[in-house]
Chain A
Amino acid sequence: MIVNEQVAVDHGLKKDEYAKICELLKRTPNITELGIFSAMWNEHCSYKSSRLHLKKLPTKGKKVIQGPGENAGVIDIEDNDAIVFKIESHNHPSFIEPYQGAATGVGGIMRDVFTMGARPIANLNSIHFGSPQNKKTKNLLRGVVHGIGGYGNCMGVPTIAGQTSFDSSYNGNILVNAMTLGLVKKDKIFYSKAAGLNKPVIYVGSKTGRDGIHGASMASASFDEKIEEKKPTVQVGDPFTEKLLLEACLELMAGDSIIAIQDMGAAGLTSSSIEMASKGNLGIEINLNKVPCRESKMTPYEIMLSESQERMLIVLENGKEEQAKKIFDKWNLDFAVIGKTTKSKKIELYFDEEKVANIPVNTLVENSPMYDRKWKKTKLPKKNKIKKEVIKHLKIINVLKKILANPNICSKEWIWQQYDHTVMGDTIQKPGGDAGVVRVHGTDKAIAASVDSSAVYCWAHPLTGGKQVVCESFRNLISVGAKPIAITNCLNFGSPENEENMGEFVECVQGIGEASDYLNFPVVSGNVSFYNQTKDQGIKPTPAIGGVGLIKDYKNMITMEFKEVDNLVLVIGKTEGHIDQSLFSRTILDEKNGPPPEVNLFNEKNNGETLLKLIDDNLIKSAHDVSLGGIITGVAKMCIKGKKGININKPKYLINEIEYLFAEDQGRYIVEINKKDFKKVADILNKNAVHFDELGTIAENELYINDKTKVTIDELSTWNKGWLLNYMSK
């Protein structure tokens, strides 16, 4: 095939990018080379629109062993233990083929983690669907949930937490973000940097097929009506093979024969070999005839661009091939020496004894395009006047009923019961709480993890929204008694070529950066997913933040269910009555405008750290952060989970009851304490200048508000659990 500008454009490259390729090579690339450039230079692999802004994120800290740039981030959890974690998107494939798209998303992120030598110990996910009324939503939800479960369950890794939301902006572009945490010894972490000349390059895992060719390019373009035609670019997962690959890799890693290892994810053999060579400042020579292929007559182009799953590339020490092969034979996996490292600093491919590609590595990596895209700032919207007349006539219980049954608040049990969340025998906090918690096997330590996003806040004001998501992650970890350590982010946005979408990205990243810097909660890994848009319509900006924290003694973990009748319930943090952009405002008042709640980083940090101190002093019986739906929604969930009631007395405030109960001010927690500890708790809070309210007392099995409104906990539970079950059974 003759390569020209049109062929390059068909590969998703811009005309000037093609010109740059010819200039760098000082010749016209052949089709295999063009394929390689298109795979490396697309948005998904090159971060060409985002790199400039991602650089501004804080990525360092005392506990950070490895920040962004490797397969995953690594943090120190003491005693020579480390946690490897990352979140990644698989949005485009999941919309086209929900089961396989979601499944391979989970498989891919687990591979990123065990490539570094860590055994995966927990999975999480953040999934977002269109309006429930949209005719595609139900099947997409079912397919995604089955896919996530199908892969994670088979791997034997518990899925311990997640987030599901519905919003019409995802009608044509669902989001599937998968996160994995792995455990590794600090002195046994593996990296992707090749080193040494003439070292054997090994291919292990599944055979290469024609699936997923140009998957990464697909993920770098918008959808149109021809989307169904893209089905062949979705990879097909085989969790069984990945389980074998996991065990085989960990067995090989126990020895000392590996120099570098890299999984074949997006852009397959292309990106994995180039990444290893680039990091090691070396060249790589590969004989493509040696690559194990599933189908006959595969061309060099297809072999290099296939995104077949469950494959790894390893650079071994010389002479260790036999020993390594034995392990892969035991696990029935392919093992082939396909090439070697060279000093040429080029990627040189041979096929049928002919050189089919010869590209300097730096042209693909350092010289890849980087754009400073135009972007538009979002002004802080004006506050709405509280509709006092409307609010006056609302009955709290009716509002609460609607809110608890709202698709974005309701119980997601139907989803997480389909995920094995208890395998590995260390899950001490299951899905449905503020964060999932697993013990570090055989120790007293535990790791808490949560994944959050607030697309509505980010849409209303990206800068505030970006900060808010980080704070919410911080709060969720603190609510279970964990000290927050670091985050991973999955940045889901519309087209970077659209100034408004690009502006949302830039300002969300700025907000994330400011909050993570202030809270000492650095970003250690992440992924950007642009082009989440159909035709001209982008999704609401949806950065998903995966937070990880440490609990030193797992017996001190906190859960959210109310524990004991007569205990006191306090609200930590001040309630200003911010209603704009709240679930109340959007669902009850039908008001979609206005600013999101303000984020005060000083209060976030101070309130959170003071609560951690109370937890350390054993003064907290249960805790839950206040988020979507406000105080009353949080309290209702604590009642439902604890099968206890509460007697609420609204504290004396200038704002009315509804504003107090449904406002979504930030930096707040609901906590349960023993009456006898009240003075101690109040002293600590006062000493640290943390505002708190006395909300009420835990009761038998009814929720009372100011003695005049009451509802049974059974009713609350029915409202909360009903929606999703009904929706999925229809």
Chain B
Amino acid sequence: MKSSVITFPGSNCDRDMDVALKKFGFKNKMVWHDDAELPKSDLVVLPGGFSYGDYLRCGSMASKSKIMQSVVNFASSGGMVMGICNGFQILVETGLVPGVLLRNKYLEFICKNVFVKINDKKNKYFKNVNNEVLEFHIAHNEGNYFCTNDQLKEIEDNNQIAINYCDENGKIEDQFNPNGSIKNIAGIFNKEKNVLGMMPHPERMIDTSLSGEDGSLFFKNLINNLK
């Protein structure tokens, strides 16, 4: 399986993602934002970080990068595109997934482990994951997902919510919402579910010595689903 990770000026989880993808069997290439063409890929990842310093609006300037036109074309033709954290912010700015990401409710950067409940498994990202609840890691300042009521209705009708913040038993309640996201949304798909944007960083949980191993589970499953 071939993957591509895009590096924008200010990306800082690009190397971590490269390490994770390679660990689970992807042949990964790093792609510079100013390139026009994507290499042949089965998966394109927009990594976390602070592209363009989060200036103007998080993800906004990166969404206008030269490479993004190719990424949009790739996604429109059904290609798998995953945006993590700042990558999620870039995805909403390009319009590949609906909604926006606002500043966290308590106006503070949050770095900690959270639990997320998988809402939909009829997609290549979460199909065949045995668990209902995963322990993931978040590190962000603007992860407060927001959309209009109409958008929310559409999202729910199409089953586009990927994961929600919850407790270890899968209970989705306000108190388990770290950033004020509407409906505890931690990740969301496009209508076709080939594009996934999510705040948590599975690449930081790929070995028992780190924050946990549920990231390993995610990547192992992902590569199997793509085969």
**Which residues in A have some Cβ–Cβ distance to B below 8 Å?**
146, 149-150, 153-156, 238-241, 243-244, 331-332, 416-428, 430, 439, 554-555, 557
Q: B109 contacts which chain A residues (CB < 8 A)?
A: 149-150, 153, 418-420
Cβ-defined contact, A423 with B139, below 8 A? yes
Q: List 6 A-B contacts (CB under 8 A).
A: A238-B53, A240-B52, A243-B12, A243-B53, A244-B9, A422-B139
Q: In the assembly, what is the distance between CA of A244 and CA of B53, in Å?
A: 10
Cβ-defined contact, B210 with A240, below 8 A? no
Cβ-defined contact, A419 with B111, below 8 A? yes
Q: In the assembly, what is the distance between CA of A239 and CA of B204, in Å?
A: 22
Q: A156 contacts which chain B residues (CB < 8 A)?
A: 12-13, 49-50
Q: B69 on the interface (CB 8 Å rule)?
A: no
Q: A420 contacts which chain B residues (CB < 8 A)?
A: 109, 111, 139
Cβ-defined contact, A425 with B55, below 8 A? no
Cβ-defined contact, B55 with A240, below 8 A? yes
A554 in contact with B209 given A153-B109, A422-B139 (CB within 8 Å): yes
Q: B108 on the interface (CB 8 Å rule)?
A: yes
Cβ-defined contact, B9 with A331, below 8 A? yes
Q: B173 on the interface (CB 8 Å rule)?
A: no
Cβ-defined contact, B10 with A244, below 8 A? yes
Cβ-defined contact, B211 with A422, below 8 A? yes
Produce 1/0 per residue, B77-99, CB < 8 A to A.
Answer: 00000000000000000000000
Q: In the assembly, what is the distance between CA of A620 and CA of B201, in Å?
A: 33
Q: A239 contacts which chain B residues (CB < 8 A)?
A: 50, 53
Residue among B110, B137, B210 with most chain A CB within 10 A: B210
Q: In the assembly, what is the distance between CA of A150 and CA of B204, in Å?
A: 20
Chain B residue with the shortest CB-CB distance to A555: B209
Q: In the assembly, what is the distance between CA of A149 and CA of B55, in Å?
A: 16
Q: B137 contacts which chain A residues (CB < 8 A)?
A: 422
Q: In the assembly, what is the distance between CA of A155 and CA of B50, in Å?
A: 8
A427 in contact with B111 given A154-B10, A243-B12, A244-B9 (CB within 8 Å): no
Q: B53 contacts which chain A residues (CB < 8 A)?
A: 154, 238-241, 243
Q: In the assembly, what is the distance between CA of A418 and CA of B49, in Å?
A: 15
Q: For the complex formed, measure the closest distance between the CB of A49 and the CB atoms of chain B, giving whole angstroms.
A: 39
Chain A residue with the shortest CB-CB distance to B139: A420
Q: A149 contacts which chain B residues (CB < 8 A)?
A: 109
Q: B13 contacts which chain A residues (CB < 8 A)?
A: 156, 423
Q: In the assembly, what is the distance between CA of A306 and CA of B50, in Å?
A: 27
Residue of A150, A155, A241, A425 near B16 (CB, 8 A) is A425
Q: A554 contacts which chain B residues (CB < 8 A)?
A: 209
Q: A430 contacts which chain B residues (CB < 8 A)?
A: 211
Q: A418 contacts which chain B residues (CB < 8 A)?
A: 108-111
Q: B54 on the interface (CB 8 Å rule)?
A: yes
A422 in contact with B210 given A154-B50, A239-B53, A417-B112 (CB within 8 Å): yes
Q: In the assembly, what is the distance between CA of A381 and CA of B206, in Å?
A: 54
Extra 14 A-B pairs, beta carbons < 8 Å, given A150-B109, A153-B50: A149-B109, A154-B53, A155-B12, A156-B49, A156-B50, A239-B53, A241-B53, A332-B9, A417-B108, A417-B112, A422-B204, A425-B19, A430-B211, A555-B209
Q: In the assembly, what is the distance between CA of A430 and CA of B137, in Å?
A: 13
Cβ-defined contact, B204 with A421, below 8 A? no
Q: A424 contacts which chain B residues (CB < 8 A)?
A: 15-16
Q: For the complex formed, measure the closest distance between the CB of A329 and the CB atoms of chain B, giving whole angstroms.
A: 11
Produce 1/0 per residue, B1-42, CB < 8 A to A.
Answer: 000000001101101100110000000000000000000000
Residue among A149, A241, A243, A554 with most chain B CB within 10 A: A243
Q: For the complex formed, measure the closest distance between the CB of A101 and the CB atoms of chain B, giving whole angstroms.
A: 18
Q: B135 on the interface (CB 8 Å rule)?
A: no
Produce 1/0 per residue, B196-209, CB < 8 A to A.
Answer: 00000101101001
Produce 1/0 per residue, B106-140, CB < 8 A to A.
Answer: 00111110000000000000000000000001010
Q: In the assembly, what is the distance between CA of A427 and CA of B204, in Å?
A: 9
Q: For the complex formed, measure the closest distance between the CB of B76 and the CB atoms of chain A, giving whole angstroms.
A: 29
Q: In the assembly, what is the distance between CA of A422 and CA of B206, in Å?
A: 12
Q: B204 contacts which chain A residues (CB < 8 A)?
A: 422-423, 425
Q: In the assembly, what is the distance between CA of A426 and CA of B203, in Å?
A: 11
Q: B55 contacts which chain A residues (CB < 8 A)?
A: 240
Chain A residue with the shortest CB-CB distance to B14: A156
Q: In the assembly, what is the distance between CA of A417 and CA of B139, in Å?
A: 9
Q: Which 4 A-B pairs have the closest CB atoms?
A: A156-B12, A240-B53, A425-B16, A154-B50
Q: For the complex formed, measure the closest distance between the CB of B2 and the CB atoms of chain A, giving whole angstroms.
A: 22
Q: A240 contacts which chain B residues (CB < 8 A)?
A: 9-10, 50, 52-55
Q: B209 contacts which chain A residues (CB < 8 A)?
A: 428, 439, 554-555, 557
Q: B112 contacts which chain A residues (CB < 8 A)?
A: 417
Q: B211 contacts which chain A residues (CB < 8 A)?
A: 422, 430
A243 in contact with B111 given A332-B9, A422-B204 (CB within 8 Å): no
Q: For the complex formed, measure the closest distance between the CB of A633 and the CB atoms of chain B, giving whole angstroms.
A: 24
Q: In the assembly, what is the distance between CA of A149 and CA of B108, in Å?
A: 10
Q: A425 contacts which chain B residues (CB < 8 A)?
A: 15-16, 19-20, 203-204, 206, 210
Q: For the complex formed, measure the closest distance between the CB of A433 and the CB atoms of chain B, giving whole angstroms.
A: 14
Cβ-defined contact, B50 with A243, below 8 A? yes
A417 in contact with B111 given A243-B50, A423-B204, A428-B210 (CB within 8 Å): yes
Q: In the assembly, what is the distance between CA of A254 and CA of B63, in Å?
A: 30
Q: B110 contacts which chain A residues (CB < 8 A)?
A: 417-418
Q: B52 contacts which chain A residues (CB < 8 A)?
A: 240
Chain B residue with the shortest CB-CB distance to A241: B53
Chain B residue with the shortest CB-CB distance to A426: B210
